[in-house]
Amino acid sequence: MRKALGLGLLLGALLLAGCSQDTVKPSVTITAPQNGATVNQDTLTVQGTAQDNVRVSRVTYQLNNGQEQEVPITPGTSVNFAFTLTLQQGQNTITVHAYDPSGNKGSASVQVTYDPQAVHTLSGYVVRENAGGPVASSTLKLYRGGALVATTTTASNGSFTFTNLAPGTYRLEAQKPGMAGSLVEGIRVPEMASITLIQKPAFDATATTTPPTLLITQDGNTPLEGGTFTNAIPFRVQVDTSKDYVRPMRYIYVALGRTPGSAFVTNSATWTRRIFTDTEDTGNQALSGSNVAGFGSAAGETVYVEVVAYDFNQNRSHYILPVTFVNTSATQANTVQPPTGVAATAITLTQAVGFYGVNAPAKIQVPVAKGQVGELTLDPMAVPEESNLYVEVRWCYTNTNSSARPFAFDVERSTDGANWTRVGTVGGGASSSCPSNPFNRPFYFRDASPDLTPGQTYYYRVVARGANSAESQPSSTTPLPPFFAPLLSPADESVGVSKTPDFVIGHPQLEIGADGAAYNLVLWDMLTGDSVAWQTLAGYNLYVEFGNEDNGIPAGEALVYGFHPAANNLVIFTDTTDPNNPDLVPVDVAQGQVALPYNFDGLAQLPELQALRTYAWQLYVSYAYKYNPGENYRISAYSIQTWPSSTTFIRISRPGTQVFDFTTGE
């Protein structure tokens, strides 16, 4: 009896267990299309998965709350589904339902807009600075009318693309851990096919990365966007202090016709932007004079006012506002001539350049052609963490007759010399001066486009514009990759070094496609701390050229030369083409090395270093350059590793610059 009773209790428990109700509903995930997507075809395939703890027995879908339609599946705890439907024009809601044997239902929905006109593309780059390095893996969200349209992630080169966009006005936001937030408001599609976002490292990674919200008006009340203005554009920019951002504000930039930023990159001789610092309200201001030079027309044309603002955490807001601008400048009626002396020069700055504390552009002496030296201006403040690249275009316009003065200069770029794209506009001007040194020519524009690529040849021309347009002859440049000449010997912290050592450096000129490189070495006496024991050529650069087809030196041979202050002339220190020529600076072309013997120039303080003394050596100047045979061997590209400050003598504290210590022997 006890056994029968036990079996009965067990059977009852099993029956009770079998009668427990399954109340867990299936889960549904729609993997395609993305919620908020816009498509330009009415036929759409929907894909996804459904899961259940017991079994998914049935899947259906509804289009715009219509009748449920069956979706073929193979029942199981996890199923895949796919079906095709026809959308109605406009917004559509697609809902997928999954059922289990107990009748539990799980659902998921997405909204998709069908717009036959959604055939446009928006592409661009996210970079750290004007002319700066790319920001990879930044999450981008594109909005239209407050609704999320699409999401993507930047590629390793910072590029992105959105497709199937309908005409309209968009907002683009960028977020990445460790980086400040960035947004662009007012992107017009299809008028603006590409856009560049600048996303800087956050000053404080724990602070908000929400960019400031701006209120942009004519006077604090009247809207600026859509207005019509003559010769001047009134504006007032205010930060919405009720919204999230990090106080205080760093900068507010305002410009017409170009995205404003660092003056070195964005200003020119005939065009400027406005800048306001440490303020949340610019007050009533105006764009006029050089701020509007070269833009608008007598009849009025649509131009864009661009406002960029940074808060203390480097969060960036960029607003683009269309206005109609009437410019009554009489130069629009002038008959103009082609600009002359156009010279495009690519500047690549490597990571080793890092004078963040310098408040003015630095200047270095560089060769501008064979046997000619000039002064190149660089902007240390524009240097990001990675290498950066820009092209400086300089030109002349020497007809100073008032009836020939251009209204504007348009700068155009091409990769084949036949198909041209405008990359910028600046105000017109004239100067009787046209120096032979390209860096001194009066008119200039700096192209900081993020798609500039080392090794690609670019052609630039300048178009003078008045009643007619007149094109200059083109100038070409091929940007160089980043250049880095490593210190090799004496090695860092080495001891027992000769009192007349050879200072050996790597010379990767041929490796990066350059035609030569310039160096200036400084040797410090560490006992006194700031005493210069030797500086090669008393501060003048030493030029090293290994032979290739463009520098006129036979392959496998080398030429080393520089200006010697005692001789007051250029002096050849090494010429391997003839054994009877000097060989004061040994080279190893195969290994890509140069050895600078101590006191090879006879300008050191002592004929030999002191025994058992510690010294430090570094490259005070290091850059590579490339000739342009088609333009009288003008140097059209530089790749700069390091250069001295124009305002203060900074040495070991220079970020990224190698400094090797060594101790001499007996």
Residue 7 lies in a domain: no
List the Cα angle 299/300/301 in 5-degree steps.
Answer: 130
Please tell me whether residues 608 and 570 are part of one structural domain.
yes
pLDDT of residue 60: 98
Asked if residue 307 is part of any domain, the answer here is: yes
Task: Indicate the residue type of 200.
Answer: K
CATH number of the domain that residue 196 is part of: 2.60.40.1120
What's the Rg (C-alpha) of the chain? 33
Which residue range forms the structural domain that includes residue 551? 487-664
What confidence category does residue 78 fall into, taking pLDDT thresholds of 50, 70 and 90?
A: very high
**pLDDT: which is higher, 214 or 655:** 214
Confidence label for 651 from pLDDT (cuts 50, 70 and 90): very low
| Closest listed residue to residue 128, CA positions, set 494, 360, 448 | 448
Do 509 and 429 sit in the same domain of this protein? no
Least confidently predicted of 340-344, 349-353, 446-450: 349-353
Task: Quote the CA–CA distance of 404 and 398 in Å, as a whole number.
Answer: 10
472 and 556 housed in the same domain: no
Same domain for 288 and 154, yes or no, is: yes
pTM for the structure as a whole:
0.81
Q: Are residues 143 and 86 in the same domain?
A: no
Of 114, 146, 162, which marks where a domain is finished?
114
> 365 lies in a domain?
no
Which of 16-30, 342-356, 480-494 has the lowest average pLDDT? 342-356
CATH of residue 68:
2.60.40.10
3-state secondary structure at position 12: helix
My answer on whether 70 and 130 are in the same domain is: no
- Sort 11 into a burial class: Cβ within 10 Å, 0-12 / 13-18 / 19+: exposed
Within a domain: 359? no
Asked if pLDDT for residue 554 goes beyond 70, the answer is yes
Q: Is the pLDDT of residue 583 over 50?
A: yes
Residue at 451 is within a domain = yes
Domain match, 91 and 219 both? no
Picking from 330, 359, 375, the residue at the C-terminal end of a domain is 330
Q: Is residue 318 part of a domain?
A: yes
CA distance 497 to 488: 13
Q: Tell whether 133 and 207 lie within a shared domain.
A: yes
Q: Average pLDDT of the chain?
A: 90
Does a structural domain hold residue 245?
Answer: yes
| Amino acid in position 196 | T
pLDDT at 73: 96
Q: Is residue 19 part of a domain?
A: no
Same domain, 468 and 569: no
pLDDT at 234 over 60: yes
State the distance between the two ends of the chain, measured CA to CA, in whole angstroms. Answer: 109
Q: Cβ distance 409 to 340 under 8 Å?
A: no
- 270 and 152 housed in the same domain: yes
User: Do residues 464 and 491 both lie within one domain?
Assistant: no
Which of 419, 449, 477 is where one domain is finished? 477
Q: Are residues 558 and 623 in the same domain?
A: yes
Taking 90 as the threshold, does the pLDDT of residue 537 lie above it? yes
Residue type, 323: V
Q: What is the pLDDT of residues 168-212, one digit of tens each?
A: 999 999 999 999 999 999 999 999 999 999 999 999 999 999 999
How many separate domains does the chain show? 4
